């Protein structure tokens, strides 16, 4: 893989990585990014391609921000389409550095163009909701403007297999997360920061994004957090 972290991130079963800090992935002024694992093109999400060919909307691709060494800027609501097939998996992990700017319902990811799952913020009374099978709130009473959630960098990881799912925040397992299975079939035209039909788009920033076709352990989540957190002052 073309990325270089110190200490190193987990690369076993890593199937996708984008990071605006790496010029081989993304540079200022570009309207696409390149996956650093398999070389998939990532473009501005447009319409509902399902499992067919995606026609990009160049104006919908996140801008480059030099903050924190280089991050994706979704200001105003933007979305990414992965123009390729990440495949299906019986176990999965989604690892993302996120910075949310307002309290609306917005997508982290959505795999429904190819039968996968949705993953939303501030939806059905939960700050984190992965397909209604893994749900978590910062407060006992839902608070869409929870200060723990807005206008700050958070390292978020969801892991799942047939034994159940877990949510980690800033390297620690989130107490109270539901443990039902929420396996992700990434598939074709997987989306980041937007609905599969292009809507409810992310409004804020995103740092490194990693997808795995295995369930990361707590030790591996901690390893990835320690490898990247110096950029985000956590």
Convert the pLDDT of each residue in 195-216 to its tens digit: 999 999 999 999 999 999 999 9
CATH of span 14-231: 2.60.120.200
The CB density around residue 102, as the number of other CB atoms within 10 Å, is: 13
**Confidence band for 132, pLDDT divided at 50, 70 and 90:** confident
pLDDT digits (tens, 9 = 90+) for 135-189: 888 876 777 778 889 999 999 999 998 888 899 999 999 976 666 766 678 999 9
**Minimal CA–CA distance to 159: which of 218, 108, 99, 207?**
218
The pLDDT value recorded for residue 61 is 98
Provide the CA 97 distance to its chain's centre, in angstroms.
Answer: 7
Q: Which stretches does DSSP call E strand in the chain?
A: 14-18, 32-34, 41-44, 63-65, 71-73, 80-83, 92-100, 106-110, 118-123, 126-130, 134-136, 153-161, 164-169, 172-173, 191-192, 204-212
Provide the CA 114 distance to its chain's centre, in angstroms.
Answer: 17
Q: pTM for this structure?
A: 0.94
Angstrom distance (rounded) from CA 234 to CA 229: 6
The pLDDT value recorded for residue 179 is 65
The radius of gyration of the chain from alpha carbons, rounded to an integer in Å, stands at 16
Residue 26 has pLDDT above 90, yes or no: yes
**Minimal CA–CA distance to 174: which of 213, 129, 143?**
129
Q: Where are the domains of the chain?
A: 14-231
């Amino acid at each position: 893989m073309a990325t270089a972290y110190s200490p190193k991130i987990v690369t076993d079963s890593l199937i996708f990585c984008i990071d605006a800090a790496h010029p081989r992935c993304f540079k200022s002024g570009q309207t696409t990014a390149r996956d650093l694992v398999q070389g998939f093109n990532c473009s501005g999400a447009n319409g509902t391609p399902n499992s067919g060919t995606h026609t990009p909307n160049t104006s919908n691709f996140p801008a480059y921000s030099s903050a924190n060494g280089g991050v994706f800027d979704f200001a105003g609501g933007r979305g990414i389409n992965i123009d390729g097939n990440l495949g299906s998996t019986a176990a999965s992990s989604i690892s993302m550095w996120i910075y949310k700017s307002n309290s609306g319902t917005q997508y982290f990811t959505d795999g429904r163009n190819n039968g996968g799952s949705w993953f939303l913020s501030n939806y059905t009374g939960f700050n984190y909701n992965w397909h209604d099978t893994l749900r978590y709130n910062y407060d006992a009473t839902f608070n869409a403007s929870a200060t723990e959630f807005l206008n700050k960098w958070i390292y978020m990881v969801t892991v799942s297999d047939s034994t159940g799912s877990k949510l980690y925040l800033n390297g620690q397992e989130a107490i109270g997360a539901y443990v039902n299975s929420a396996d992700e079939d990434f598939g074709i035209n997987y989306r980041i920061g937007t609905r599969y039909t292009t809507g409810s788009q992310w409004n804020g920033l995103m740092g490194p994004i990693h997808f795995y076709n295995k369930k990361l352990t707590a030790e591996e989540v901690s390893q990835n957090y320690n490898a990247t957190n110096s950029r985000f002052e956590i």
